[in-house]
Structure 1
Amino acid sequence: MVGLITLAAAQAIANVAFRKFFESSVGKLGEKFTETGLKKIDELYQTIRKKLSGNPGANHTLADVEQGNQEALQRVAVYLLDVMQADANFATDVQKIADEINIHRVEDNSQLTQINKDHSTGYQTKTGDNNTNQFGNTIHYHGNPPQS
């Protein structure tokens, strides 16, 4: 039995299934998933596309997404939520494929870089997915620390 399906869950699934239409290059998607994961993403896309294509409104919205319209992705998620709530077997299949995709996500093995300046301040930086950055600052005092 499928648990409560939320719009957020449908959005997450739609984002994965239609991601290839928004990646700046196919290679970037390949950096984030194994070959099996990429095949599963395509399977998820085909499964959703087949199910939604019978609805004229959803079919039009799918075409918009496939043309790179990110705003239409929200509407696809609403259509997806509707069919997942109406068809428990479809919802189970889609969630299973999405779980399998997550298993085949490439682990982030990038390294954290630390730059030391004047032997007192260390900056740590790391760039992640979607240009998210982690930035840390460590100050090392040699002798007595300054008084506040």
Structure 2
Amino acid sequence: MEPLTASAIATLAFTKAFEKTIEKFTEAALAKMDQLRQRIWNKLQGNPKAEKVLTAIEQGNKSELDRLAVYLQDAMDDDPQFASQVQVLAQEINAGKLLDNSNMTQNNYDNSMGYQTRVETERGTTNIGGTHTHNYTT
């Protein structure tokens, strides 16, 4: 399995700060998020700029994740053991993502037309389906 980027790890660690997405993870993955977040906090503690970014993220400021990724990457470069630990935790969290196994089914009767949509916010994918009936006479 390919190592995750510092940005992906930071996003996984602080997903719970952005509450909309936590429903997509198992309970075990949510517990691992807490462990990952705490490891990052412990590692970056003592760096006032990093602590400021961490606090902003904890308060829901998603735009600070990019800055955190820079501090996290530096820490990972300086400490291979730490890098390995956060990589393993992040991969375990990724393994705990719940898959959307829903499908799109629609039944139309009496020549009616209907549409259905499904939007996957995580991937930015929109699925739109429709049924069109054409009657030809010759």
Q: Which TM class, normalised by the smaller chain length?
A: 0.7 to 0.9
Residues 36, 104 of structure 1: 8 Å contact kept:
yes
Which residue is equivalent to 1:119?
Answer: 111
Relative to structure 2, which stretch is displaced further, 120-129 or 102-111? 120-129
Unaligned 5+ runs, structure 2: none
Q: Deviations over 1:88-126 (max 9, x none)?
A: 111111110011111111121223243648637563422
- Which amino acid letter does the alignment assign opposite residue 6 of structure 2? A
Out of 121, 128, 132, the position equivalent to 1:135 is 128
Q: How many residues align?
A: 135
Output the amino acid matched with 2:9: I
Over aligned residues, Cα RMSD in angstroms?
2.7
Identity of aligned residues (%): 47
The match for 2:60 is 68
Give the aligned residue type for 2:127.
Answer: Q
Q: Quote the offset at 1:4 in angstroms.
A: 7.8
Q: 1:21 aligns with which of 11, 17, 33?
A: 17
Higher strand share: 1
The 8 Å contact of residues 17 and 41 in structure 1, kept in 2 or not, is answered as yes
SS in 2 for 1:109: coil
